[in-house]
Structure 1
Amino acid sequence: MPAPIAADQILRLPLLPVLAAQGLWVRRTARLLPEPSGPRAGCEGHGPRLRLLIAGDSSAAGVGAETQAQALSGQLVQRLAQDYRVAWRLEATTGHTTRDTLDRLRQIDGPFDVAVTALGVNDVTRATTRAQFMARQTALLEHLTVPLGANCVVLTGVPQMQRFPALPQPLAWVLGQQAARLDAGLHQVAARFPQAHHLALDFPDDPALAAPDGYHPSPRAYALWAERLAQDIHAQTRARICRTSGTE
């Protein structure tokens, strides 16, 4: 049975002139922040080897931070390097959708032990349906877990776009509703893969967590995100070791 049509989907047509005007205003007035400087691959830490891939859009690339050390990649590697020798690689670009990221990852070689993805905002703004998003995320997970060999994949949830300070109402509400639908689909996709885990982003309401553009995370938000990812990766890695050794 088809899913019922949500209120925001019903109201899109009468709201279309307002939404179009607000979308144009956001594009014209948005503060464009560059991707941060710094290395996008390296090897850090001591201990068991962990080959890490971080892939996705502008948030994965660290927009909102000045350097990669302040961004998601640097802060996550710093935490993991306390327990592992982390060989890491960042494959992320501003504006990339799930399909763009899959195309990019088909051009690199593995294997990786752990993959982290951050995608969805550009799928929302390009009117990707939930069914399309789930199909593309499924293809992405199949590529991460088979050709690239990742036995632990953390799918960062689609952000709550209604909370982006840069977006006016009702545009924020409409995009937020669609983001929630895609995130629910992402959770379903993750449940189909034993290697995958969906990590919801539910940061507190704190202006310090937003970058100056009101659209991307700040270094403080990247720190919170990296801490949650590190905890998740540690937990999944320990669980797999226990299952392999036959212990609990």
Structure 2
Amino acid sequence: MSLALKLVLSPLLVAQAIGTRRRAPVLPEASGERHGVIGSGEPLRVLIVGDSSGAGVGVPTQDLALAGHLSRTLAREAGRQVHWQLVAQSGITSAQALAMVRRESLRPAEVAVAVLGVNDVIDQVPSMRAVQHRAALADWLLAHAGVRHVVFAPLPPVHQFPLLPQPLRWIMGRDARRHDEAMARWAATRHDVSHVPIAIRLDASCMASDGFHPGEPVYRACGEALARHIATTTTLR
């Protein structure tokens, strides 16, 4: 979609965004421990960094969220004892994620999983600037947190979010795809970073009650896909 058309539609888009924010229920982050150990065998330490999707908004407990599904699947697929830590906060952008990990007390980790990007789209961060922010996050984790590989989850198919009205849903979806494509191109240039495409169809049956955040089926599909990718990453063998 051209910038000119986006500018023409901007009054409608702003009105829809304000209305959507007002009527959307505010869901809590998932409860439960944000670190744990699962499985047996050689230890594999994993750090999960994220926004509301990392924090498990949309499900009641971390067991049902991304961290739970990822750690259980990874322990099984890799045959390793997975030591995991979750550092996540609702509403943060990729730039704010770097500030967050800098102030947290991080446990040692060989691999980091980043679940970020939707808030960059919401805040209208240009796609290349968002990639720069994620690159800065990856570089910091590699240099200061002992991480050997950073795995980036893809942006979700925002154009399928039930909460969003048209044309806001379509336009945000286009923006999200542009961000994700830029991220994939950048990750392909690095040996210590990867971007994991995950094909998933979203509708009200698999989303949270707000129609915006993932439900348990989405967390399960994404956690399992990310875990399988990590289990077969050559740098971690």
Q: For residue 89 of structure 2, what is the aligned residue in structure 1?
A: 93
Q: For residue 240 of structure 1, what is the aligned residue in structure 2?
A: 235
Residues in 1 aligned to 2:33 and 2:111: alpha-carbon distance in whole angstroms: 19
Residues in 1 aligned to 2:202 and 2:57: alpha-carbon distance in whole angstroms: 20
Mapping of 1:30-41 within 5 angstroms? 30-41=24-35
The answer for unaligned runs of 5 or more in structure 2 is none
The answer for unaligned runs of 5 or more in structure 1 is 1-6, 243-248
Distance 1:217 1:205, change over 3 A: closer
Residues in 1 aligned to 2:224 and 2:162: alpha-carbon distance in whole angstroms: 24
Residues in 2 aligned to 1:121 and 1:201: alpha-carbon distance in whole angstroms: 15
Q: Which has the higher contact order (CA 8 A, sep 6+)?
A: 2
Mapping of 1:83-162 within 5 angstroms? 83-107=79-103, 108-162=105-159
For this pair of structures, how many residues does the alignment match? 234
Aligned partners of 1:158 and 1:201 also within 8 Å: no
Residues in 2 aligned to 1:26 and 1:206: alpha-carbon distance in whole angstroms: 17
Aligned partners of 2:39 and 2:81 also within 8 Å: yes
Q: For residue 4 of structure 1, what is the aligned residue in structure 2?
A: none
Aligned partners of 1:97 and 1:120 also within 8 Å: yes
- Alpha-carbon deviation of 1:111? 3.1
Residues in 2 aligned to 1:206 and 1:173: alpha-carbon distance in whole angstroms: 15
- If you compute each CA radius of gyration, which structure gives the higher value, 1 or 2? 1
Q: CA RMSD in A?
A: 1.4
Q: For residue 48 of structure 1, what is the aligned residue in structure 2?
A: 42
Three-state SS of the structure 1 residue aligned to 2:218 is: helix
- Alpha-carbon deviation of 1:206? 4.4
Output the TM-score relative to the length of structure 2: 0.94
Aligned partners of 1:110 and 1:147 also within 8 Å: no
State which of 49, 54, 65 in structure 1 corresponds to 2:59. Answer: 65
Superposed CA offset, 1:90-131 (max 9, x none): 000000110111011112345311111111100011110012
Three-state SS of the structure 2 residue aligned to 1:209 is: coil
Superposed CA offset, 1:42-87 (max 9, x none): 2222111111000010001111111110000011111223321111
Aligned partners of 1:152 and 1:233 also within 8 Å: no
- Alpha-carbon deviation of 1:194? 0.6
Task: Read off the aligned partner of 2:96 and give its amino acid letter.
Answer: D
Residues in 2 aligned to 1:115 and 1:68: alpha-carbon distance in whole angstroms: 17
Q: For residue 168 of structure 2, what is the aligned residue in structure 1?
A: 171
